[in-house]
């Protein structure tokens, strides 16, 4: 198990370029916030797909590490993402993850992504992480 | 239809941050090269998952635009990616895309991603793009 | 729009081999029940993967038809399914679908599948249906 | 490792209802043939999606068992399928699988599905199998 504070320190140290805020973590779930700037936009004034994919992947990782602790080198095995609506260019992206399986070797979760302040998700992802045996 | 030269100019203008080379485009396929630097690495000395996802998405986009031309605002609807092996930290990433369907409203393709010089793929993705009706 | 009664009559007429019960349909959701018999089992005494895939696909179809009516020839474009736990061999399978996008040309929903009486899902699927323009 | 003959005997004994022919197996690949009859059709005179999904899953299973032998209880973890074209109602379905990863705990492969005699695939699937540690 890892607390929100331990997770924050871990990501600042190990993924300084990740640049998101952990709003909550625990109970097989997580919520992240990404401040959107021009680097994340694509033509037409919308947040790029890869920015959303990266947030979905990160939300899964945070939810899993909150359960199994920071030791494990869990890695993404599969990510499936559906893009639902055009995100607003001037709003943060919020990612809400819920784990639907936490096994010994695999964890699976789904993630809804939102433009801050809008209840209609802009994307939905499901991901599988492999958990190494020697955790 | 768009040529490799037209595609290069388009991406330099519209996606200056994308920062990949189009090695080939046409015949319902594409090949891209991404120069890897420290920004793309994650702990353990490997290329980050989001970097691979972004390359898979871009390879699909290039293969589709090479067929339908630069006018269309094709957008990603779905991307499914499997991570197969740890990419080398000191090699470029090569993405090879082949379209398996090019319909009026949907295009579907698969992408193999490689560390330059190694025949074993590091990831495999399948993606769906929506093509707007008024192309 | 189609009511639960209209949907029942439609599936009995058009898909007599489908052999599931529509427990609810509407509000962008559906719930189906499949009576499991020996034909659906595989070695080890568990419900086969294809039986679960067929139920996920059907639950999406029912949820969509309940919204757009029985006229449309909506067809599955993509289905992504994760198998989470071994289903019980002697329990019905319950499929609960929620649409997360209902656009003019695409509908996307997710489905949790359960062994009747157990709150832990045995599988989770996300699917995309194409809706023909002349609906 | 398992030969084509051993695989045939295994499927006849363990999956008598599967009802497909193994045309080839080995070299990290497989080819299956399914004789289509009225049970597999849906309105509009086409092969049902679940029939295609079951064939994709089976082709992966055969390709994996050909490599790791019949002892292992490999199970499907994830299947992602894209439906590309309407299959012919009066042609067999051919499934061609190629493994793209064969690890100790996970195997991943892709499958192209065809109506017999047509080079354009009707569907494309990618699947992940879990291989139990005590194989």
Nearest-Cα distance to chain A for D126, in Å, is: 11
DSSP type of residue C87: P
Q: Nearest residue on chain C to A124, judged by CA atoms?
A: C100
Check whether C32 has a pLDDT greater than 60. yes
Residue matched to tokens 């090019």: B102
Residues 6+ apart with CB under 8 A from C134: none
Phi, then psi, of A64 in degrees rounded to 5 = -75, -45
- Residues of chain D with C-beta less than 8 angstroms from the C-beta of C39: 17
CATH 3.30.465.10 correct for D4-130: no
CA distances from D78 to A63, B70, C128, D75 (A): 20, 35, 16, 9
Residue B135 has pLDDT above 50, yes or no: no
Would you list the domain boundaries of chain B? 4-130
Whether A68 and A60 have beta carbons less than 8 Å apart is answered as no
Residue D65 near residue D2, CB atoms below 8 Å = yes
Task: Write out pLDDT tens, residues B53-112.
Answer: 999 999 999 999 999 998 768 899 999 999 999 999 889 999 999 999 999 999 999 999
Closest approach of chain D CAs to the CA of B35, in angstroms? 24
Closest CA of chain B from D84, distance in Å = 6
Mean pLDDT over D114-122 rounds to 97
Residue C131 clears pLDDT 60, i.e. is over it:
yes
Rounded to whole angstroms, what are the CA distances from D122 to B7, B17, D88, D113, D114?
30, 37, 9, 6, 5
| Residue A21 pLDDT exceeds 90 | yes
**Residues forming a β-bridge with A47:** A41
| Per-residue confidence (pLDDT) for residue B127, from 0 to 100 | 98
Partner residue facing B78 (CB), from C78, C105, C133: C78
Cβ atoms A80, B80 nearer than 8 A: yes
Which comes out higher in pLDDT, residue B135 or A67?
A67
Rounded distance, CA B106 to CA B78, Å?
11
Confidence bin at C135 (pLDDT 50/70/90): very low
Residues of B with CB under 8 A from a CB of D: 80, 82, 84-85, 100-101, 108, 110, 112, 121, 124, 126, 128
Look up the ipTM and state it. 0.93
- CA-atom Rg of chain B in angstroms: 14
Question: How far apart (Å, rounded) are the C-alpha atoms in residues B22 and B32?
Answer: 5
Sign of CA dihedral B23, A41, A55, A125: negative
Burial (CB < 10 A; 0-12, 13-18, 19+), residue C89, is middle
Tokens of B85: 């092996």
**Structure letter (DSSP) for residue B46:** E
Q: Cβ contacts (< 8 Å) between B85 and chain D: which residues?
A: 101
Residue B44: pLDDT over 80: no
With an 8 Å Cβ cutoff, are C130 and B106 in contact? yes
**Neighbouring subunits of A (3+ Cβ pairs under 8 A):** B, C, D
- State pLDDT tens for residues B12-30: 888 777 789 999 999 999 9
Candidates B56, B79, B82: best to mutate against A (most CBs of A within 10 A) is B79
Q: What is the pLDDT of residues D19-56, one digit of tens each?
A: 899 999 999 999 999 988 776 666 677 888 999 999 99
According to the 3-state scheme, what is the secondary structure of chain A? Answer: CCCHHHHHHHHHHHCCCCCCEEEEEECCEEEEEECCCHHHEECCCEECHHHHHHHHHHHHHHHHHHHHCCCCCCEEEEEEEEECCCCCCCCCEEEEEEEEEECCCEEEEEEEEEECCCCCCCEEEEEEEECCCCC
Query: Looking at CA atoms only, how far is residue A107 from chain D in angstroms?
Result: 11
Residues of chain D contacting residue C77, judged by C-beta atoms under 8 Å apart: 82-83
Size of interface A-B (CB pairs under 8 A): 58
DSSP code for B44 = T
Chain A positions touching D77 (Cβ under 8 A) are 106, 128
CB contact under 8 A, C85 and A101: yes
Q: Do A130 and D78 count as a contact with CB atoms less than 8 A apart? A: no
pLDDT of A43 higher than 70: no
Express as a percent the part of chain D with pLDDT over 70: 93
Q: Is the pLDDT of residue D94 over 50?
A: yes
Whole-prediction pTM? 0.94
**Contact call for B130 and C77, based on CB within 8 A:** no
Q: What is the pLDDT of residue B41?
A: 67
- CA pseudo-torsion sign A19, A21, A24, A29: negative
- Give the model confidence (pLDDT) of C84-103 as tens digits: 999 998 899 999 999 999 99
């Amino acid at each position: 198990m890892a607390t929100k504070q331990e997770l924050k320190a871990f990501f600042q140290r190990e993924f300084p370029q990740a640049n998101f805020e952990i709003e909550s973590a625990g109970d097989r779930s997580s919520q992240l916030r990404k401040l959107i700037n021009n680097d994340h936009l694509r033509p037409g004034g919308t947040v790029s797909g890869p920015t959303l994919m990266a947030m979905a992947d990160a939300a899964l990782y945070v939810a899993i590490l909150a359960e199994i602790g920071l030791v494990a080198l869990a890695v993404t095995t599969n990510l499936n993402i559906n893009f639902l609506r055009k995100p607003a260019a001037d709003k943060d992206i919020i990612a809400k993850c819920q784990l639907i399986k936490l096994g010994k070797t695999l964890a699976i979760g789904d993630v809804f992504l939102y433009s801050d302040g809008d209840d209609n998700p802009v994307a939905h992802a499901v991901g599988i992480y492999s958990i190494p045996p020697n955790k």
